[in-house]
Amino acid sequence: MTVTSTTATSVKTTCPYCGVGCGVNLSLPSASMDALPPVSGDLDHPANFGRLCVKGSSLAQTIQSDDRLLTPRVNGQPVVWASAIETVSAKISQVIKEHGPNAFAFYLSGQILTEDYYVANKLAKGFIGTANVDTNSRLCMASAVVGYKRAFGSDTVPCNYEDLERCDLLIMVGSNAAWTHPILYQRIAAAKKQRPAMKIVVIDPRETATCDIADLHLAIKPGSDAAIFSFLLQYSSQADILDGDFIAHHTNGFADALAQAHESTPTLSATAAFCGVSEQDLASLARWWCDTPNTVTFYSQGVNQSSSGVDKCNAIINCHLATGRIGKEGAGPFSITGQPNAMGGREVGGLANQLAAHMDFATPGAQELVQRFWQAPNMATENGLKAVDLFQAMEEGKVKVVWIMSTNPMVSLPDTAQVRRALEKCELVIVSDCKAHTDTTVMADVLFPATGWSEKDGTVTNSERRISRQRGLLPAPGDAKHDWWAICEVAKRLGYQSAFSYRNVHEIFAEHAALSAFENNGKRDFDIGHFSQITKAEYDALTPVQWPVPKGRPEGTKRMFEEGRFFTPDGRARFVPITPALPKNATSQEWPFMLNTGRVRDQWHTMTRTGDAASLAKHTAQPYVEIHPKDAKRLGIKDKTLVRLTSPYGEVLLKAKLSRAVAPTNVFAPIHWTQQFANASVVSNLIPQVVDPLSGQPESKHTPVQLEAVTDI
Ligand code: SF4
């Protein structure tokens, strides 16, 4: 595919992969037809200051795919946009009329831009009248969101990336940042090199690449994270390092949380035994915790993807509140998002249990306020279906039209056999994607060709609340269109002309900003009202800024809660009593191994983009399962031979990688490979639809399985 030039010759944009949100310079290719558009790190971007990891550096290789979806398709046949829009809107209208608004659903993605999310959320919640707007971000950080809300009354990340460099103790829990957030890891490693006294502790059942810079690795029993923090809370009390003043004036519920911590984790030895770590290592962590007021706890999917993920988050937050380690430089509980715009989706209400602009359905007066602002004729009035529930409702015939955007649930959701049954049952499956062939596009009745990273315009928000522009440089190929445009066209065809008559993303962003500040009485954390009057030229020139950006504070907000005031009705943070729990499904004689899942260094999600970059396949060419050599010997499994993994939900074939990085009876497999890349190696086939009861986030990291050497193929 030939790339032709537009008027600009280079743009400052943002990497579309992980939640670090690095700034990227993208330029037009040279005159040579074979040349790729040059990509480099943006020296001015505060997330990366010019650095790019290997995935970001290889972006150019992913731009000119031979598998681009270039025209709309209905039942496999190419059609013009008008016809595809007509087909979709007619079916949505019919289904709403016959079955009500909840028969429609969006399933979105942390890959789409905030402006795309905003119009999808507005159409569903304000005009169709359903809150069935969920997203693959449910698989990424939903537990962290609920943890923050329980503690702070809002989904607010307190910290920033500089805090990671300025802390004296960094506790990294459930994160292999060296591979999943490489630029943050590089910043942390550089800070440690400069200040060797800075301590780093990694809490993870597996010895990952991140352990290379750790002073201490606690290889905990899978899922036992909350007990570590429950113990730290009670130990802080014993060691007399509590911040009594902060607890008294800025929090509620401390006594109950402390009593529960004493009951759940009464002693160091009991906690060490529960977590499967040595008493000596746990004592080292406790001592460093007590000696180091400047502590950041950095957590990610290893904490969130659990049937008790929310409790784990609150166990962490409890420790920071009890010691006043929040709202200060180099201190705080810091959840890192997986995707480039998981946070932007949260800002507009792009989760089924949110309304808009960080307001929930249960927020007093919020529904009326949003309805007034949108002039909405059909406001949804209650939470919609979270990802796993949504696909279950689809299989039950309750959701009859689903619009999937920029994600591949046939590979990424747990129990993919159930996802297949759901999509087969659904009367109309619409998929918007850049790619013609993914495991999900083949299930679609209607395909909408979407613009890709180098063509799209809008904003994203990274893990430190920083809003950055993504800027398109290359023209859209074929009939590819922006996601926001396709949503607005369907909305207009449904009869909502004026509410969806945006001419560009600038108009959507300004409206989103105005809603965030609309009748704000100072009790809302997400306020970017400064941008409600933003001009197109200002939007085009927007430089990265951390929200909140209320009127009168254009510089944004570097750190939250510096005044010790939170977004609960009384302004106090809340302790949550935590009883540490192990994974919902335990290993057994029949299913004796605990399967942990994660990422490899050079691939992203289901490889729909990184799979196009030949150089990225060099690091890890094939799917594999890490097995401890002792287990392998017992089962007669040799390195690099085929292994069959079975769970009650399915089976997969993977290549054995013998490694002491996993403990005996634990195994690890990366999640990227799809049916298209490696037949029979979709790891999600094995994972049950067990979710955290509060966040709905699937327990993707703790699945009991069986292993056997493959001798029959
Ligand atoms: Fe992209 Fe993340 Fe790498 Fe930065 S660290 S270049 S955002 S993949």
Task: Say yes or no: CB of residue 463 within 6 Å of ligand 1.
Answer: no
Whether residues 405 and 378 share a domain: the answer is yes
Compute, in angstroms, the gap from residue 94 CA to the centroid of ligand 1: 43
Whether residues 349 and 322 share a domain: the answer is no
User: Which CATH number characterizes residue 229's domain?
Assistant: 3.40.228.10
Whether residues 435 and 321 share a domain: the answer is no
Task: Say yes or no: CB of residue 20 within 6 Å of ligand 1.
Answer: yes
Residue 333 has what pLDDT? 98
Task: Say yes or no: CB of residue 39 within 6 Å of ligand 1.
Answer: no
Using a 10 angstrom Cβ sphere, with 0-12 exposed, 13-18 middle and 19 or more buried, the burial of residue 253 is middle
In this prediction, residue 426 has a pLDDT band, given cuts at 50, 70 and 90, of very high
Task: Read off the tokens for 406.
Answer: 């920029």
Which of 271, 306, 336 is the last residue in one of the domains?
Answer: 336
Question: Is 291 a member of any domain?
Answer: yes
45-49, 60-64, 222-226: range with lowest mean pLDDT:
60-64
Task: Say yes or no: CB of residue 41 within 6 Å of ligand 1.
Answer: no
Whether residues 181 and 292 share a domain: the answer is yes
Whether residues 683 and 617 share a domain: the answer is yes
Residue 523 has what pLDDT? 82
Which of 546, 562, 583 is the last residue in one of the domains?
Answer: 546
* 3-class DSSP state of 188: helix
Residue 679 has what pLDDT? 59
Whether residues 449 and 307 share a domain: the answer is no
CB within 8 Å of 47: residues ≥ 6 apart: 20, 21, 22, 23, 161, 183, 462, 464, 466, 468, 544
Q: Tell me, letter by letter, the H, E, C secondary structure of 554-593.
A: CCCCCCCCCCCCCCCCCCCEECCCCCCCCCCCCCCCCCCE
* 3-class DSSP state of 123: helix
User: Which CATH number characterizes residue 53's domain?
Assistant: 3.30.200.210
Write the CA distances from 55 to 182, 247, 412, integer angstroms.
Answer: 9, 43, 20
Q: How far apart are CA 706 and CA 406, in angstroms?
A: 33
To test ligand 1's pocket by mutation, which of 43, 183, 462 has the most ligand atoms within 8 angstroms of CB? Answer: 183
Q: How far apart are CA 597 and CA 683, in angstroms?
A: 8
Whether residues 427 and 472 share a domain: the answer is yes
Q: Is the ipTM of this complex over 0.95?
A: yes
Question: Is 561 a member of any domain?
Answer: no
Residue 503 has what pLDDT? 98
Residue located nearest, by CA, to atom 2 of ligand 1: 18
In this prediction, residue 5 has a pLDDT band, given cuts at 50, 70 and 90, of very low
Residue 7 has what pLDDT? 63
Task: Say yes or no: CB of residue 17 within 6 Å of ligand 1.
Answer: yes
Full-prediction pTM beyond 0.90?
Answer: yes
Chain-wide mean pLDDT for the chain?
Answer: 95
Residue 1 has what pLDDT? 36
Helix H or strand E encompassing 133 = strand 133-135
Q: Which ligand 1 atom sits nearest the alpha carbon of residue 182? A: 5
Whether residues 516 and 615 share a domain: the answer is no
Residue 8 reports pLDDT greater than 70: yes
Residue 35 has what pLDDT? 76
Phi and psi at residue 515, in whole multiples of 5°? -65, -40
pLDDT digits (tens, 9 = 90+) for 82-140: 999 999 999 999 999 999 999 999 999 999 999 999 999 999 999 999 999 999 999 99
* 3-class DSSP state of 686: helix
Task: Say yes or no: CB of residue 48 within 6 Å of ligand 1.
Answer: yes
* 3-class DSSP state of 404: strand
**Cα Rg of the chain, angstroms:** 24
Question: Is 242 a member of any domain?
Answer: yes
The domain of 57 spans 10-62
Whether residues 330 and 349 share a domain: the answer is no
Q: Which ligand 1 atom sits nearest the alpha carbon of residue 340? A: 7
pLDDT > 70: what percent of the chain?
Answer: 98
Task: Read off the tokens for 186.
Answer: 């590089």
225-250 burial, b for 16+ CB within 10 Å, e for fewer? bbbbbbbbbbbbeeeebbbeebbeeb
Residue located nearest, by CA, to atom 3 of ligand 1: 53
Which of 26, 42, 62 is the last residue in one of the domains?
Answer: 62
Question: What's the number of domains the chain is made of?
Answer: 4
Neighbours of 617 (CB within 10 A): 16
Q: Which ligand 1 atom sits nearest the alpha carbon of residue 48? A: 4
Residue 240 reports pLDDT greater than 90: yes
Q: Which ligand 1 atom sits nearest the alpha carbon of residue 462? A: 7
Task: Say yes or no: CB of residue 55 within 6 Å of ligand 1.
Answer: yes
Torsion, Cα of 409, 412, 415, 420 (10° steps) = 30
- Helix 366-374 crosses helix 505-517 at what angle (to 10 degrees)? 140
